[in-house]
Structure 1
Amino acid sequence: MLEPQTLKFLSQLKKNNNKSWFDAHRAQYEAARIDFSNFIQLVIDAVQKNDTTITGLTARDCIFRINRDIRFSNDKTPYKSHFGASIKRSGRKSPFAGYYFHCEPGGQSFIGGGLWQPESPALKGLRQEIDYNWEEFQSIVKKKDFKKIYGDVYKGSDVSLSTTPKGYEKDNPAVDYLRLKSFIAETKITDEELTKASLHKKTVAAFEALQPLLAFINRTVA
């Protein structure tokens, strides 16, 4: 579980997203960061028992900085109003598919993961793997636990081509997945759930249900 004060800090930061306020509340930030880090470490310790690819990772390897990169953004607010952790082989900066935890008060939190916007060669290889091993891929996304938690891989217009990718036919049984540019799945978490003791169990179960999909994707990642 996360402490209510962690959510309170992020909510206040969203309303006061400037350096002077942040500096004045740095102690609260440090407490919130430590709280989130401790939770992520507990999750890593549990998940790595069934996923040896993340053995030895620490929360520090996985948690993103709260500072925003504003160099190419019209939004010049300096800080993120959320905590995020990407748990995957070699840490958050690696090209592998992985687990993701997003803590953002106001109903914006979620558990999930996958592979976000891979480079063209990796995307081409993953599409080919799905095409060649359609029955295996289909069995993964239709597993009871995966469907119960995630429903399916996310197929929104923001991650999906409007046309069939070159080299594939429109009647390919896997076409809805072959059109994807990102392969992710997520499930929402309420603010109330974030501060419940059951959050750890819920997160570990969600990640374990996602693990077969990550293993399939990572077969194609160099």
Structure 2
Amino acid sequence: MSFKNQIEFLKELQKNNNKEWMDANRKWYKEVRDEYIGWLNSVNIRLSAIDDEYYDTPGKKGINRINNNLMFHPNKPVYKDHFGAGFDKKPQTADFYFELGIDRCIFAGGLWRPEPKVLRSVREAIDYDGEELQKILNKKSFKHLFGALYDDAKLSKSPKGFSNDHRYIELLRNKTFGVETTFSTKLTFEDNFDERLIEVYKEMLPFRRYLNKAITV
């Protein structure tokens, strides 16, 4: 699947980001959404075959709404400029995210500003075996693909219950434990795009499993 139909739809939507245009092009939207869900279903099957702990996530469950939440973000446009979806979306765990945009796409995963109880569990895991997480983050191929942890807000001091001279204080200060990599949308037009997605999924898997273990243990 090349996603050309989806990209063309997104381009036109951003020129006409309003409910009137969407209503007039509802048939086109349904077409590109159904195509996208069909692709998500095929990837869901492939990922479940390579990951014994994979949580079955059919396309209709994985796909995100295209509407922006104007209640919490009133200054945003009515519709998003991308199609987003999650894989391996077991509730309250670190899933794998894909975003198809007009100019760029994103692979991402982890925990974005989790609730205090979850965040505490991750920090306790780091306190117990932070060397394991550090090893994952320092792996050459991981760093090449994702760089470092997602650059988000951090505590200015150590979290409650942890000393300022803790060996892994820089990790403990994070409020978000996620990674992402971006690439040109042109990559989605290539025949081997699905294989590329699977490579990224595999590279990120130890990171996500570490987080999920921290949450569930």
Compute the TM-score of the two structures, normalised by the length of structure 1: 0.89
Residue 181 (1) aligns with residue 175 (2): yes
| Aligned-partner SS, 2:178 | strand
Residue-by-residue CA offset, 1:27-72 (whole Å, 9 max, x unaligned) = 2212221222222222222222232333432111111111222123
CA RMSD of the aligned region, Å? 1.8
Q: How does 1:14-93 map to 2 (within 5 A)?
A: 14-75=14-75, 77-90=77-90
Residue 7 (1) aligns with residue 7 (2): yes
Q: 1:187 to 1:65 in 2, by over 3 A?
A: same
| Aligned-partner SS, 1:139 | helix
Compute the TM-score of the two structures, normalised by the length of structure 2: 0.91
Residue in structure 2 matching 1:138, options 125, 134, 140: 134
Identity of aligned residues (%): 31
Residue in structure 1 matching 2:214, options 197, 216, 220: 220
CA distance in 2, matches of 1:206, 1:137: 18
Residue 169 (1) aligns with residue 163 (2): yes
Tell me, which stretches of 5 or more residues in structure 2 are unaligned?
Answer: none
CA distance in 2, matches of 1:63, 1:43: 12
Moved more, 162-171 or 173-182: 162-171
Which structure 1 residue ranges, 4+ long, deviate > 3 Å from structure 2? none
Q: 1:76 to 1:148 in 2, by over 3 A?
A: closer
- The number of equivalent residue pairs is 216
Q: How does 1:109-128 map to 2 (within 5 A)?
A: 109-128=105-124
Q: Could you tell me which residue of structure 1 aligns to residue 144 of structure 2?
A: 148
Residue-by-residue CA offset, 1:61-113 (whole Å, 9 max, x unaligned) = 111111222123222632222111122343xxx21111000111123x21111
Larger fraction in helix: 2
Contact 2:155–2:175 (Cα < 8 Å) also in 1: yes
Q: Could you tell me which residue of structure 1 aligns to residue 96 of structure 2?
A: 99
Q: 1:168 to 1:42 in 2, by over 3 A?
A: same
